[in-house]
Structure 1
Amino acid sequence: MVSLERLRADHAAALLAFERENREFFARSVPDRGDAYFAEFASRHEALLDEQATGGIHFHVVLDEHGALIGRANLVDVRDGAGEVGYRVGEHAAGRGVATAAVAELCWLAAGSYGLSTLTALTDLDNPASAAVLRKNGFAAVEEILIAGKPVVRHLRHLRPRCR
């Protein structure tokens, strides 16, 4: 069982440790964040919290049943009832359904807490596991596009309003 918590200031140390521990693992499938990300982590974390307060982004940490940080699930570019989904799960949690569960919870929050009606997500062509996570959560591949010269697939999901 996993849970999502909205990113807070007190997540900084655990999040930095998570990113450091999984840096090589993540670099196998997505571009590395670079040394500056880690060197400037504290100020970047504060800036993200400030931006989150505006409602244009919604960052979450993914926690396991013991409260350990095992991933991230985010909504960015939030506007006009839509947002883009992004997520990453640490190496020791990969392949156990964590990403699928985290994206499911993120979709639930997007529809209810954030009032969104449409979500998009991008996957690299060489990352079928990420595409599978999206399919399991009701996303459909809609087009192949180029980002920085690299082909990626854009996925789309329409959300139903959540009853309260």
Structure 2
Amino acid sequence: MPELQLLRADHAPALLAFEQENRAFFAASIPDRGDEYFAHFEARLAALLAEQAAGICRFHILVDTDSDGEGEILGRFNLVDIADGSAELGFRIAEKATHQGLATATVRRICTLAATEYGLATLRAAAALDNTASRAVLTRTGFVPTGEELLLNDRPGLVYVRSTAGEVRGA
């Protein structure tokens, strides 16, 4: 059973492998991270962990653990720009983990964590119009389109919002 974990420095090798193995798949539906991301991966990860330590962001990974507690990363689920009781949700799931309900279940779990552990009342997310999978996950997990349009690397997209007021501890 996949386990949701807060990102740590020792996840670096598995995280890099996840990003590299799924780069083309991700680029088909979300903005590509670009070559610089991979060239400076360790520095970028250190900066993300510093932001997490400062409480600005919360970075989560979905790990398919083996008997040693280590395993392959199946997805990333991030809460960024945490301020004033709100944050922006971003997520990506490995190609081989799609169509299993993992993204939907994990976004629901992140919404619960946002409310019960991080004290957030509102989450925002954005998805490209042609990213039907992410838009479906957002809709299934209670996000609603705001009507605000934006460009995601020159691709038209929509902004979604969700209140976490209905979340309960232990859900």
Give the TM-score of the pair, scaled to structure 1: 0.93
Deviates more, 1:152-161 or 1:74-83: 152-161
| In structure 2, C-alpha distance between the alignment counterparts of 1:116 and 1:151, rounded to whole Å | 28
Shift of 1:101: 1.2
| Paired residue total | 164
Shift in CA distance, 69/82, structure 1 to aligned 2, threshold 3 Å = same
Report the residue type matching 1:162 in the other structure.
V
Aligned equivalents of 2:100, 2:169: Cα separation in 1: 30
- In the other structure, the counterpart of 2:15 is 15
The answer to whether residue 109 in structure 2 is matched with residue 105 in structure 1 is: yes
Q: Note the residue ranges of structure 1 that are not aligned, 5 or more in a row.
A: none
- Of the candidates 103, 106, 121, which is equivalent to residue 117 of structure 1? 121
SS state at 2:130 partner: coil
Instruction: Tell me if structure 2 keeps the 8 A contact 1:140–1:156.
Output: yes
Preserved CA contact (<8 Å) 2:150 2:159: no
Provide the residue aligned with 2:150 in structure 1: 146
SS across alignment from 1:64: strand
> 1:110-159 CA deviation, whole Å, 9 max, x = no partner?
00110000001101111111111011111111213123654211111111
Q: Is the 8 A contact 1:2 1:102 kept in 2?
A: no
Distance 1:124 1:105 in 2: 23
The ranges of structure 1 where at least 4 consecutive aligned residues each deviate by more than 3 angstroms after the TM superposition are 161-164
Following TM superposition, by how much is the alpha carbon of 1:2 offset from its aligned partner in structure 2, in angstroms?
A: 3.0
Normalising by structure 2, what TM-score? 0.89
Match runs of 1:18-37 below 5 Å: 18-37=18-37
The DSSP-based 3-state class of the residue aligned with 2:124 is strand
Q: Residues 3 and 102 of structure 1 are in contact (CA less than 8 Å); yes or no, is this contact kept in structure 2?
A: no
In structure 2, the residue matched to 1:53 is 53
CA drift at 1:33: 1.1
CA distance in 2, matches of 1:163, 1:149: 39
What secondary structure is seen at the aligned counterpart in 2 of 1:132? helix
- Aligned identity (percent) is 51
Equivalent-residue separation in structure 2 for 1:163 and 1:41 (angstroms): 35
Distance 1:104 1:65, change over 3 A: farther
Output the aligned Cα RMSD: 1.6
